[in-house]
Amino acid sequence: MSAGNPAAAAAGDGCGAPAGGAAVAAATDPGGQAIVEGRVVRGGTPVSAGYARLLGTGDEFVAEVPLGEDGGFRFFAAPGTWTLRVLAPGGARASRSVAAERGKITKVEVSV
Amino acid sequence: MSRSEVLVDADWVEAHSGDPGVVLVEVDEDTSAYDKGHIPGAIKLDWKKDLQDPVRRDFVDRVGFETLLSERGISNDDTVVLYGGNNNWFAAYAYWYFKLYGHQSVKLLDGGRKKWELDSRELTTDVPQRPRTSYRAAEQDPSIRAMRDEVIASIGKRNLVDVRSPDEFAGRLLAPAHLPQEQAQRGGHIPTARNVPWSKAANEDGTFRSDDELRRIYGEEAGLDFSKDTIAYCRIGERSAHTWFVLHELLGQPNVKNYDGSWTEYGSLVGVPIELGDAR
């Protein structure tokens, strides 16, 4: 488990979600993982109520996390190109393409 | 079983969550979500602390479940409405678990916590106090829970549905893409399993797809033979509880079991067959 990774640490051995609500502290060492992380903003302000989804080829669902207090999210992906999709209240939706590389932290900021 | 018997929507919850005999329960892996804000009137269950044995890898026993529900103020004749994060994975797991111990009236809030939040509906931090009850549980119902020997014996004979992501199925990942890559000793899937990711059953907002869409996804597209018995599995049994709910409760398929040992057990067993690669 990577250091500085409260979301994943809180997830324990579950199938599921990392902790919602807490700020997602920036990872400092990818440790051989292909990490995609970032935050969601609206008019420069973090969006804390919402969800980030990682989608594969053909928009096949891969993973989803609730946004942190700071609008943050993090995925441990396989290397490759993914679609990052954000859902926020009020019908706000945004999608963008992201590339994940092993041993690298790919940073993304998404506006809704 | 029809959809209206096992699913309620948010409007129903807003209208009936305070009714006598209705208990709203949030089930999350992350209990801080409940503490930060939950649907008014809801109590919480922690899937791990409350529902798992603290020592063995198994559920709390019948007496333990009786004690838990009595303490939380749930009666045998209450209608329990479950919801949670993760597109209701853990709520579906709890639904299956309540059924395992014979609770009669259980429902899921369609879309769970996500749709409630995306609709900007009310959340509160007030924690309701419910008077203690004397809950009596049935013995576990083995017709909806599969154990490893039955799974191994089912290879090539029953429908095995692997509901993990395609990368986990193929053996490229050992865990969902928002978690570090650790867990079972080996990657891959159970031979003859079909890969139907749980997410195919859900819309983007977490609600379940229509019955017609679900029949098409599992039947025509995935090629499940509905005349055969079915076992669903994932990594530890939550995502597959979601699929169990779809097949058994929404589509009314008999003889559907959830294998809660799932890949963290199977992928660490010595001597069992494992298949690698993408779904054919």
DSSP string, B204-225: TTSPBPPHHHHHIIIIIIT---
Give the pairing type, strands A80-88 and B159-162.
unpaired
> What whole-number distance in Å separates Cα of residue B17 and Cα of residue B207?
19
Determine the 3-state secondary structure of A96 from DSSP: strand
- Answer whether residue A3 shows pLDDT above 90: no
**Residue A7: pLDDT band with limits 50, 70, 90:** very low
Which pLDDT does position A59 carry in this prediction? 87
Which pLDDT does position B133 carry in this prediction? 98
* Chain A residues 32-71 with CB within 8 Å of chain B: 33, 49-51, 53-54, 56, 60-66
Which pLDDT does position A58 carry in this prediction? 85
Is A71 within a domain? Answer: yes
Is A69 within a domain? Answer: yes
pLDDT digit string, tens, across residues A19-52:
444 566 566 677 788 899 999 999 999 998 899 9
**Count: domains in chain A:** 1
| Inter-residue contact A29 to A87 (CB < 8 Å) | no
* Chain B residues 166-205 with CB within 8 Å of chain A: 166-167, 172-173, 175-183, 197, 199-200, 204-205
Q: Tell me whether A15 touches chain B (CB under 8 Å).
A: yes
Test B29 with A65 for CB contact under 8 angstroms: no
Considering CB atoms only, which of B120, B180, B199 is closest to A61? Answer: B199
Chain B: give the shortest CA distance to residue A60, in Å: 8
Other C-beta atoms closer than 10 Å to the C-beta of A67 total 24
Which pLDDT does position A17 carry in this prediction? 41
Bridge partners of residue A100, in order along the sequence: A80
Give the pairing type, strands B106-109 and B159-162.
unpaired
Q: Which residue has the higher pLDDT, B48 or B69?
A: B69
- Answer whether residue B173 shows pLDDT above 90: no
Which pLDDT does position A24 carry in this prediction? 62
- Answer whether residue B95 shows pLDDT above 50: yes
* Percentage of the residues of chain A whose pLDDT score is greater than 70: 75
- Chain A residues touching residue B89 (CB < 8 angstroms): 15-17
Other C-beta atoms closer than 10 Å to the C-beta of A106 total 18
- Chain B residues touching residue A65 (CB < 8 angstroms): 178
Is A107 within a domain? Answer: yes
Is A89 within a domain? Answer: yes
The answer to whether residue B272 is catalytic is: no
- Give the CATH number, domain containing residue A88: 2.60.40.10
How open is the CA angle B128-B129-B130, to the nearest 5 degrees?
Answer: 115
Residue of A8, A108, A40 lying closest to B177 (CA atoms):
A8
Which pLDDT does position B182 carry in this prediction? 58
- Answer whether residue A5 shows pLDDT above 70: no
User: Could you list the residue range(s) of the whole structural domain that residue A66 is in?
Assistant: 30-111
Which pLDDT does position A78 carry in this prediction? 82
- Answer whether residue B270 shows pLDDT above 90: yes
Is A6 within a domain? Answer: no
Is A19 within a domain? Answer: no
**Residue B28: pLDDT band with limits 50, 70, 90:** confident
Give the pairing type, strands B7-8 and B22-28.
unpaired
For chain B, the C-alpha Rg in angstroms (whole number) is: 18
Bridge partners of residue A42, in order along the sequence: A45
pTM for the model stands at 0.89
Which pLDDT does position B119 carry in this prediction? 95
Calculate mean pLDDT across residues B150-171: 95
* Segment holding B82, helix H or strand E: strand B79-83
Residue of B24, B139, B136, B18 lying closest to B69 (CA atoms):
B136
pLDDT digit string, tens, across residues A71-88:
999 998 889 999 999 999
Is A45 within a domain? Answer: yes
- Answer whether residue B143 shows pLDDT above 70: yes
> What whole-number distance in Å separates Cα of residue B10 and Cα of residue A108?
33
Q: Which residue has the higher pLDDT, B124 or A77?
A: B124
- Structural domains in chain B, CATH included, are 3-140 (3.40.250.10), 144-266 (3.40.250.10)
Is A76 within a domain? Answer: yes
Handedness of CA B95, A86, A67, A100 (dihedral sign): positive
Test B33 with A76 for CB contact under 8 angstroms: no
* Chain B residues 44-63 with CB within 8 Å of chain A: 47-48
For chain A, the C-alpha Rg in angstroms (whole number) is: 13
- Chain A residues touching residue B120 (CB < 8 angstroms): 49, 89-90
| Inter-residue contact A74 to A65 (CB < 8 Å) | yes
**Residue A60: pLDDT band with limits 50, 70, 90:** confident
> Which amino acid is it at B66?
E
Bridge partners of residue B108, in order along the sequence: B7, B82
